[in-house]
Amino acid sequence: MATASAAQSVPSVAGLPLVGNLLQFRRDRLALQDEAGRIGPIARVQMAHVPVYVISDADLAHRVLVTDADAFRKSPATRFLEPVMGDGLLLADGEHHKRHRKLLAPAFAPRRLAAYGETMVAETQAQLAMWSSGQRIELAEQMLEMTLAIAGRAMFGTDVRRDAKRVAEGLELGMRALMENQRSPVRLGYEWPLPRHLRLRRAIKILDEVVYRLIREGRARGTDSGDVLSILLLARDEQGALTDAQVRDEVMTLLLAGHETTANALTWTWYELARHPNVLARLQAEVDAAGEIHADMLATMPYNLACIEETLRLHPPAYLVDREATRAIEVGGHMLPPGALLAVSIRGIHLRSDYYADPHAFRPERFLPEAKKARPRHHYLPFGAGPRVCIGSHFALLEAQLALATMVQRVQLRVPVHVDAEPVITLRPRGGMPATVVLRALR
Ligand code: HEM
């Protein structure tokens, strides 16, 4: 076997003395990611004195996320989410992560998901009921509102709508504060009394008040009412039950990780549908023929799923995942030291022309069953891979399919010709997605 060369030999993106690629990163991190991908399967970018190794190759990504997963943990780069998510699954590592992953799994079992399906359709219909023909809407915001309503109901059950609304307020406030922090050129610890940090504390106070009260009420009831919270409260293993603080962190993590990603997926799907009338026409024909939309009939709408999957390829909401090496590890022929930071570029992999012909073109046909079978599975990873693969991927795909089909039956949306992607926490449309509603005749 060839010996691995030192980490210093990883080809690097040209940068400035001292700051390296930091200014490029601040200006346009997607362009920097693209540049790293052009350099090779693994490329180094310098965040001042700290090197980050960008992986833009499906085989190497598989090594990092799956085969050698035990040599990595989440990177400190994700820690900015900690004030809201605490030690929840997304940020947890090691034994803690393993234990919590097992305890959370039953909440995402297939029979649970089917039950959330009704909520997904009902909340989409509720959103549609607010739209009239010719109305101008901010689609990205509307999708956020809808997916949060769905996540809130799945999380807390149907009888706590007012609380879910308060949680939505807190999350929105918290997310904005986290994003301001992520965007700011100066990062100070959250203990500094900056206005954005104070807003974040206010948001967390709102969220904690509601969530801890719901936890107390759930504990007093002690029954499984079908929602995620009651499942978490009843979950047991040899170490016993989760503490209130642990349940709080998991609920917050699921709410935050679960709603913005799916909202962006739906927003970008509409963007692409509006730009591709032939695709929209084929999708309309499929969903119109399907009749009433519910979880059991999704197999009859393969093109609906293909439109969503192709959108997740072109506009992956989680455009990269970060890791930190816990020991020296060989990646792509280079020996990386313990503590090395890696960024697996999901978007970079999805846009490779040797994996996908004409990779920037929107072609849902790529995701029809036969075409999917013909492609190596690891060339597509919108939900990551390995032991940390998205726990909500089935929930998200179910929600996106039910919501899209329900919307396509009722409306058509006109959106601007071109909208840029803005990588903040997820890949969202820069400046939002203004849209005009055209109601379709009821059939
Ligand atoms: C289109 C929608 C979604 C996308 C694109 C997405 C993407 C991802 C990705 C790429 C990861 C892996 C992160 C890593 O490896 O570091 C992840 C993890 C996670 N996702 Fe999702 N996600 C989506 C929806 C959801 C939903 C609906 C939920 C919950 C209801 C959820 C909850 C989580 C959690 C808790 C983790 C952490 C899993 C772990 O580390 O074990 N996600 N997601």
Tell me how far the alpha carbon of residue 106 lies from the centroid of ligand 1, in angstroms.
Answer: 16
- Ligand 1 atom closest to Cα of residue 395: 27
The CA distance from 30 to 45, in Å, is 13
Going by DSSP bridges, is the β-strand pair 329-331/236-237 parallel, antiparallel, or unpaired?
A: unpaired
In whole angstroms, what is the distance from residue 60 CA to residue 44 CA?
A: 14
| Residue 241 pLDDT | 92
More confident residue, 182 or 293: 293
CB-based burial of residue 169 (10 Å sphere; 0-12 exposed, 13-18 middle, 19+ buried)?
A: middle
Q: What is the pTM of this model?
A: 0.94
If you measure from the C-alpha of residue 105 to the centroid of ligand 1, how many angstroms do you get, rounded to a whole number? 13
User: What are the beta bridge partners of residue 413?
Assistant: 437
Atom of ligand 1 nearest to the CA of 316: 5
Task: Taking the CA atoms of 294, 297, 302 and 303 in sequence, report the sign of the dihedral they define.
Answer: negative
Of the pLDDT bands very low, low, confident and very high (cuts 50, 70, 90), residue 443 is low
> Quick one: average pLDDT of 54-78?
95
pLDDT at 163 over 80: no
Radius of gyration (C-alpha) of the chain in whole angstroms: 22
Cα separation of 429 and 416, whole Å? 11
Comparing 188-192, 310-314, 369-373, 374-378, the range with the smallest average pLDDT is 188-192
CB burial of residue 2 (10 Å; 0-12, 13-18, 19+): exposed
Angle at 326 between CA 324 and CA 330, to 5 degrees: 85
Counting atoms of ligand 1 from 1, which one is nearest the CA of 101? 41
The ligand 1 atom nearest the CA atom of 317? 5
Look at residue 442 and tell me whether its pLDDT is greater than 70.
Answer: no
Most confident of 151-155, 158-162, 329-333: 329-333
Three-class DSSP category at 108:
helix
Residues lining ligand 1, judged by CB closer than 6 Å? 89-90, 101, 253-254, 257-258, 261-262, 265, 317-318, 321, 382-384, 388, 390-392, 395-396
Q: Is the pLDDT of residue 162 over 60?
A: yes
Q: Which atom of ligand 1 is nearest to the CA of 253?
A: 35
What residue owns the CA closest to ligand 1's atom 16? 321
**b (16+ CB within 10 A) / e for 145-166:** bbbbbbbbbbbbbeebeebbeb
- Residue 263: CB partners within 8 Å, gap ≥ 6? 140, 143, 144, 146, 147, 148
CA of 258 to the centre of ligand 1 (A): 7
Ligand 1, atom nearest to 108 Cα: 30
With CA atoms as reference, report the closest residue to 362 among 264, 260, 270: 270
382 Cα: distance to centroid of ligand 1 (angstroms): 9
Strand-strand pairing, 427-429 and 50-55? unpaired
What pLDDT sits at residue 126? Answer: 93
Strands 5-6 and 334-336: parallel
What confidence tier does 1 reach under pLDDT thresholds 50, 70, 90?
very low
At 255, the pLDDT band (50, 70, 90 cuts) reads confident
Q: Ligand 1, residues 146, 390, 404: which to mutate, most atoms within 8 A of Cβ?
A: 390
| Residue 115 tokens, joined | 């039950």
Cβ atoms 51, 45 nearer than 8 A: yes
pLDDT score, position 261? 94
Residue 259 alpha carbon, nearest atom of ligand 1: 27
| pLDDT at res. 183 | 67
Which residue has its alpha carbon closest to ligand 1 atom 14? 321
The DSSP bridge pattern shows strands 50-55 and 240-241 to be: unpaired
Q: pLDDT-based confidence at 136, cuts 50/70/90? A: very high
**CB of 347 closer than 8 Å to CB of 316:** yes
For 416: left if phi > 0, alpha if psi spans -120 to 50, otherwise beta; the answer is beta
Q: According to the model, what pLDDT value does residue 293 have?
A: 94
Share of the chain above pLDDT 70, in %: 96
Confidence grade of residue 214 (pLDDT, cut at 50, 70, 90): confident
Closest atom, ligand 1, to C-alpha of 323: 16
383 Cα: distance to centroid of ligand 1 (angstroms): 6
Among the listed ranges 27-31, 145-149, 191-195, 376-380, which one has the minimum average pLDDT value?
A: 191-195
Return the residue whose CA atom lies nearest to atom 24 of ligand 1: 258
- Would you state the pLDDT for residue 304? 98
Residue 67 is classified by DSSP as: I
Mean predicted lDDT score pLDDT of the chain: 91
Cα 288 to ligand 1 centre (Å): 31
Rounded to the nearest angstrom, the distance between the alpha carbon of 108 and the centre of ligand 1 is: 12
Predicted confidence (pLDDT) at residue 175 exceeds the cutoff of 90: no
Using CA of residue 119, residue 393, residue 366, residue 308, what is the dihedral sign? positive
Of 331-335, 337-341, 408-412, 419-423, the poorest mean pLDDT is in 419-423
CA 346 – ligand 1 centroid, Å: 13
Do 351 and 359 touch, CB atoms closer than 8 A?
A: yes
Window from 92-106, 149-163, 173-187, 206-220 with minimum mean pLDDT: 173-187
**Closest Cα to atom 43 of ligand 1:** 390
The yes-or-no verdict on residue 188 having pLDDT over 80 is no
> How many Å lie between the centroid of ligand 1 and the Cα of residue 387?
12
Of the listed ranges 58-72, 224-238, 281-295, the one predicted with least confidence: 224-238
Amino acid at 311: T
The total of other beta-carbon atoms located within 10 Å of residue 360's CB is 8
Which residue CA neighbors atom 19 of ligand 1 most closely? 390
C-alpha 233/C-alpha 412 separation (Å) is 42
How many beta carbons lie within 10 A of that of residue 365, not counting itself? 12
Query: Which atom in ligand 1 lies closest to the alpha carbon of residue 265?
Result: 1
Q: What is the pLDDT of residues 3-16, one digit of tens each?
A: 678 788 899 999 99
| C-alpha 390 to ligand 1 mean position (Å) | 4
CA of 396 to the centre of ligand 1 (A): 9
Higher pLDDT, 48 or 276: 276
Got the DSSP string for 250-301? HHHHHHHHHHHHHHHHHHHHHHHHHH-HHHHHHHHHHHHHH-S--GGGGGG-
Ligand 1: centre distance to CA 89 (Å): 10
